[in-house]
Amino acid sequence: MNTHSMLTNKPTIAKATIGVKELAQHAGVSVGTVSRVLNGEISVSPKRREAVQKAIQSLGYKRTSAAQMLASRRSRSITHTGNIAMVFVGMSENWQGHPTTAALINGVDQACNDSSFHPLLETCTDDRHLPRCIANGKVDGLLIKSSNVVPRFLDQLPDYLPRVLVGMAEPTLACNQVLPDHRASAWIATEHLWSKGHRRIAFVNNQDMHRIFISRYQAYEQLLRSRRAYDPQLVVRNEDPPGFEPEVNFPDMSYAVEQLWALDDPPTAIVAANDWMAAGLYQALKKRGLTVGKDISVIGFDNVLSVCCMLEPQLTSYEIPLQDVSRHATRLLMNLIENPADNLNHSTQMLPGRLIERDSVVDLNA
C-alpha cells in the first residue's frame, strides 16, 4: 500500500477527539514523529514530515493552547503530546557536556527509543518557577533530576501530571523516586579497602553540604564504627565548598593531605567523595612525595573514564549506574502515563552499581 492510500483510507475521526495520537494513526507514523513535527524539529525525514502535514490538513487539527490543555486534563479529557521531559534542577547549561549529564540523557534516550515517546530536556536554574515544558503544556510526564535540593515548583505541578524524581531520595515527597544506592556504594568501597588490610582509612570531601556525599560519608562512618575503627581525625571536610558548577581543573586538595599527614598516625588509604576529588588528591600527594598505589591507597566514585584512566596509576572507582537509573525512571514514568491509577502508589527504588578495580589500592595482606 503506498503513502497516498494510507492517508486516504483512514476512518473519519470527530474533530473534538483529534490529538497527536490520531494524527500519528492517520499519517502512519509514531506519536514521537508527530510531536517532533509539531515542535518544529529538523530530525524528521521529508517523507514523514509531509505525511504528518497532510494529516493535519485532512483532519483539521489545531494545536491546543496551554490553558486549554490544563483545563481539559483536569476534566480527565487528556490531550496527549507524546513528549516526556527531563528537567535538570539547579544545573546551568555548563553541565550539558558533563559525563554524568551525558549518562542520564543516554538512559532517557534508550527508554524512549523503545517506545512512542519523545524526550525533551530542560535546565532549571530558578526552581521557584514551573519549567517551560510544563507551563506550555508540552509534556505528558516529568523526570526531575536533582541531586541536592527539592525544587520549589513541585507544589505548583498539576495533580494529574505523572512525575518521577531522579537521583535524590526525599522521604517527605509523595512521588516515585529512582536513584543510585549511594550508601551501598560507599559501604562497598570502604569494605574493599578493609579487605585489603587497611585499618586507618580516611574520608575526604570538599563539598560538605552535598546530599550525595553526605550519604557516602554516613556509610563510611557506619562501617568503620561497626568494626571499632572509626577515627574522626581521619575525616576531612571543606566547610566553605565551591559553587554547584562543573570545575575545569581538579580541586586543590593540599589542605586535606596536610591535615592528614599532620597526624601521628596518618592513613594508609583514602576514600574520596568522587573521582574529581581523588584526582586532586593524586596531585597533592605527589607534591608531598607520596606515590598512590605504593605509599597510599585512594578510591573514588562515579568511574568517570576520562579521569580514572588518565591518572597514574589508574584509579579504582565505584561505578554509579546513572544511565540505568534514568532508563529505569523513564520506563516507570511511561507506565504512570499509560496507567494513571498507578500514580497513587509511590516507591523509592535504589539501583546498585559496581566497583571497578584498577591499580590505586595497595593490598597490605600480600
Helices (H), the chain: 3-8, 20-27, 31-38, 46-59, 66-74, 99-113, 132-135, 182-195, 211-226, 254-260, 275-287, 305-308, 322-338
Shared-domain flag, residues 281 and 240: yes
Residue 69 domain-assigned (yes or no):
no
Nearest to 335 by CA among 321, 322, 353, 347: 347
Residue 162 domain-assigned (yes or no):
yes
So what's the pLDDT on residue 311? 98
Residue 364 domain-assigned (yes or no):
no
Residue 74 domain-assigned (yes or no):
no
Q: What angle do CA 68, 69, 75 make, to 5 degrees?
A: 90
Residue 215 domain-assigned (yes or no):
yes
**What distance in Å separates the CA atoms of residue 353 and residue 318, rounded to the nearest whole number?**
7
Shared-domain flag, residues 309 and 222: yes
Shared-domain flag, residues 263 and 340: no
State the angle between helix axes of 322-338 and 99-113 in degrees (0 to 180), rounded to the nearest 10. 40
So what's the pLDDT on residue 50? 86
Residue 249 domain-assigned (yes or no):
yes
Could you report the average pLDDT of every consecutive run of 10 residues in the chain (366 residues)? 36 51 83 68 74 85 52 53 93 76 94 92 89 92 90 89 93 92 98 98 93 96 98 89 67 96 98 97 98 98 96 98 97 93 86 98 96
Side-chain-side CA neighbours of residue 292 (13 Å): 28
**What distance in Å separates the CA atoms of residue 200 and residue 190, rounded to the nearest whole number?**
11
So what's the pLDDT on residue 180? 97
Q: 12 with 55: CB under 8 angstroms? A: no
Nearest to 183 by CA among 202, 168, 204: 168
Nearest to 283 by CA among 305, 254, 261: 254
327: its cell numbers: 532508563
Domain that holds residue 159: 83-179+323-351
pTM assigned to the model: 0.76
Shared-domain flag, residues 192 and 311: yes
What CATH number has the domain bearing residue 32? 1.10.260.40
What CATH number has the domain bearing residue 253? 3.40.50.2300
212: its cell numbers: 550525595
How many structural domains comprise the chain? Answer: 3
